[in-house]
Amino acid sequence: MEVINIKGTDDTPSVTMDKDNGVFLIQGRSLPEDVTLFYQPILDWITEYGNQTNDHTDMTFKLEYFNTASSKVLLDVLLKFEEIKNNGSDVTVKWCYREDEEDIKEAGEEYEDIVEVPFEYCECDEDWNIK
């Protein structure tokens, strides 16, 4: 599969979807002007990945901020991974947040209540290193 490697901006997160190296990451701020245009290739990639997954998938989120439009599409991402899990693959969501961003942690907890995928919470320092 082709690797997705999007460099983040002030308004869009960096995204890496790399099946061969087992890296599945969305990091940064998500408030793209056109959320569908930004996330559709990622959703399509995840759908294709679901046809032939790795033995284990850790989908990692390291988000500083996301707007309402992004929150819906992030749920769509999580629902795609729920579907992959329901088809027999081993999937874990790693939801990382900074110590001073309890609202981000709470958002992860709300997603966890919606999707049937195990979540692991990781508190990080300012440079996103897990504590």
Strand (E) or helix (H) holding 126 = none
* pLDDT tens readout for residues 65-111: 999 999 999 999 999 999 999 999 999 999 999 988 889 999 999 99
Closest among 98, 95, 65, 64 to 77, alpha carbons compared: 95
Expressed in percent and rounded to 5, the helix, strand and coil fractions of the chain are 35, 35, 30
Question: Per-residue pLDDT for 29 more than 90?
Answer: yes
Tokens of 42: 């990622």
pTM of this prediction? 0.96
Please report, as a single letter, which amino acid is at residue 107: A
Question: Per-residue pLDDT for 47 more than 90?
Answer: yes
Per-residue pLDDT, 33: 94
Q: Which ranges of the chain would DSSP assign to H, the alpha helix?
A: 35-49, 68-86, 102-114
What residue spans define the domains of the chain? 39-131
* pLDDT tens readout for residues 49-76: 999 999 999 999 999 999 999 999 999 9
Strands laid side by side in the 23-30 sheet: 4-6, 14-18, 23-30, 56-66, 90-98, 119-124
Neighbours of 119 (CB within 10 A): 17
Q: Supply the mean pLDDT for the chain.
A: 96
